[in-house]
């Protein structure tokens, strides 16, 4: 049986697709990868300026719905909570490290950088939480592959970078990491570090192939995170963070919403049963809204 994976063409996306291919091939499947260029790959403005959900997803999902590919491998944090009818996430493999990392030249700490230091990141979520740690930093839009961003840092385009640990680990750039941010310092993006394997709902052949790759604990955790995100009405371009982790035999979920200047931040956490992650996500979203998250999100510029 031959299956085709739809993937973006970036180094990280292809690492992810090839990892899934290797798992499926080891189970006796025949797999090929089809590279699909997405809107996000063609984008020239920053992600926060685009105002569009699913920038790295849309064309791949269209190919999946048209049966041009049999499954899609996404970074789960890129996947909108409202998926097209007929598609669903059949498997979420075990998550990589979900934290964000700080990378600077010569191992300089965030505290030791000069006043007005330029920090490279295109994530509004990271920018807002960074400003809680250093109010004077200047966020510099920084897109491109991981090695491209590391080269920009090396040539002095910025003083430091903040990126997801998962991509750094997967591509073998661990030695560049200066510091791992704790969840209390910078709460990760919803689904950060996790992969989503998306298929058509009516494709039993693909479902049977990918189900063994599903890691139940990770899938439950990201369901809690995505429910919180849905409850806040947000997407990856808004300063919303949520991370679920094992706690006392269940799940603990932390959620954060911050204003663009970092002046206002609301935080909520709760614990719940692993088997009911949506209940936990809804509780945390409700608590964030009670603390004023809606006012923060409504104050964001509409693009």
pLDDT in tens, 90-105: 999 999 999 999 999 9
- Say whether both 85 and 108 belong to one domain: no
User: Tell me, what CATH number does 238's domain have?
Assistant: 3.30.160.40
- Say whether both 263 and 117 belong to one domain: no
pLDDT band at residue 47 under the 50/70/90 scheme: very low
| Four-point Cα dihedral 139, 230, 80, 121, nearest 10 | 10
- Say whether both 107 and 249 belong to one domain: no
- What's the domain count of the chain? 3
CA 145 to mean position of chain CA atoms: 15
Confidence (pLDDT) at 156 = 94
For residue 261, indicate whether it is catalytic. no
Residue 189 forms part of a structural domain: no
What are the beta bridge partners of residue 213?
none
Give CA–CA dist 99/184, Å, rounded.
11
Q: What is the mean pLDDT of residues 236-262?
A: 92
Confidence (pLDDT) at 301 = 67
- Say whether both 60 and 199 belong to one domain: yes
Give CA–CA dist 285/257, Å, rounded.
10
Confidence (pLDDT) at 51 = 45
| The domain boundary residue, chosen from 121, 154, 180 | 180
pLDDT at 276 over 90: yes
Residue 303 forms part of a structural domain: no
**What tokens appear for 67 in the block?**
């049966």
Render pLDDT for 172-206 as a digit per residue (tens, 0 to 9). Answer: 999 999 999 999 999 999 999 999 999 999 999 99
In terms of C-beta density within 10 A (0-12 exposed, 13-18 middle, 19 or more buried), how is residue 202 classed?
exposed
Distances (CA, A) of 74 to 9, 93, 136, 171, 271: 12, 11, 35, 16, 28
- Say whether both 40 and 58 belong to one domain: yes
In terms of C-beta density within 10 A (0-12 exposed, 13-18 middle, 19 or more buried), how is residue 303 classed?
exposed
Give me the catalytic one of 70, 78, 100, 203.
78
Residue 138 forms part of a structural domain: yes
Secondary structure of residue 41 in the 3-state scheme: helix
Give CA–CA dist 220/121, Å, rounded.
29
Residue 220 forms part of a structural domain: no
Confidence (pLDDT) at 253 = 98
Render pLDDT for 133-161 as a digit per residue (tens, 0 to 9). Answer: 999 999 998 888 899 999 999 999 999 99
Percentage of the residues of the chain whose pLDDT score is greater than 70: 94
Give CA–CA dist 124/75, Å, rounded.
18
Sheet containing 265-272: order of strands: 240-247, 250-258, 265-272
Residue 188 forms part of a structural domain: no
- Say whether both 86 and 202 belong to one domain: yes
pLDDT at 131 over 60: yes
Residue with tokens 């570090």: 193
Secondary structure of residue 114 in the 3-state scheme: coil
- Say whether both 148 and 278 belong to one domain: no
- Say whether both 89 and 201 belong to one domain: yes
pTM of the model: 0.92
Residue with tokens 């040539």: 155
Cα angle 47, 53, 55 (rounded to 5 degrees) comes to 60
Residue 155 forms part of a structural domain: yes
Cα angle 12, 42, 225 (rounded to 5 degrees) comes to 55
- Say whether both 39 and 86 belong to one domain: yes
Sheet containing 30-35: order of strands: 30-35, 2-7, 71-75, 195-200, 87-91
Residue 30 forms part of a structural domain: yes
User: Tell me, what CATH number does 82's domain have?
Assistant: 3.40.190.10
| The domain boundary residue, chosen from 180, 203, 236 | 180
- Say whether both 119 and 161 belong to one domain: yes
Check if the beta carbon of residue 107 is closer than 8 Å to that of residue 125: no
Give the least confident one: 47-56, 69-78, 108-117, 224-233: 47-56
- Say whether both 153 and 264 belong to one domain: no
Cα angle 224, 230, 231 (rounded to 5 degrees) comes to 90
Residue 62 forms part of a structural domain: yes
- Say whether both 207 and 88 belong to one domain: yes
Confidence (pLDDT) at 240 = 95
Per the structure, the complete domain to which residue 235 belongs is given by 228-298
């Amino acid at each position: 049986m031959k299956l085709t994976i739809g993937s973006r063409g970036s180094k990280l996306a292809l690492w992810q697709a090839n990892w899934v291919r290797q798992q499926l091939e080891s189970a006796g499947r025949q797999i090929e990868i089809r590279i699909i260029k997405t809107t996000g790959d063609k984008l020239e403005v920053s992600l926060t300026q685009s105002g569009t959900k699913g920038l790295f997803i849309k064309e791949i999902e269209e190919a999946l719905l048209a049966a041009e590919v049999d499954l899609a491998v996404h970074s789960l944090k890129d996947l909108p909570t409202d998926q097209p009818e007929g598609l669903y996430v059949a498997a979420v493999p075990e998550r990589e490290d979900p934290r964000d990392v700080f990378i600077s030249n010569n191992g300089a700490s965030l505290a030791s950088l000069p006043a007005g230091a330029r920090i490279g990141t295109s994530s509004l979520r990271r920018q807002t939480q960074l400003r809680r740690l250093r109010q004077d930093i200047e966020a510099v839009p920084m897109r491109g592959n991981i090695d491209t961003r590391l080269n920009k840092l090396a040539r002095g385009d910025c003083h430091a970078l903040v990126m997801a640990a998962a991509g750094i680990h997967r591509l073998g750039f661990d030695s560049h990491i200066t510091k791992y941010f704790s969840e209390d310092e910078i709460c990760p993006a919803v689904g950060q570090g996790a992969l989503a394997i998306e298929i058509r709902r009516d494709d039993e052949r693909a479902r049977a192939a990918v189900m063994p790759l599903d890691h139940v604990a990770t899938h439950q955790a990201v369901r809690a995170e995505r429910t919180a995100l849905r409850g806040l009405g947000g997407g990856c371009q808004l300063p919303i963070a949520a991370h679920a982790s094992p706690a006392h035999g269940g799940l603990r979920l932390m959620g954060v919403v911050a204003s663009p200047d970092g002046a206002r931040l609301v935080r909520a956490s709760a614990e719940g049963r692993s088997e009911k992650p949506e209940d936990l996500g809804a509780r945390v979203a409700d608590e964030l809204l009670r603390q004023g998250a809606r006012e923060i999100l409504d104050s964001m510029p509409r693009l």
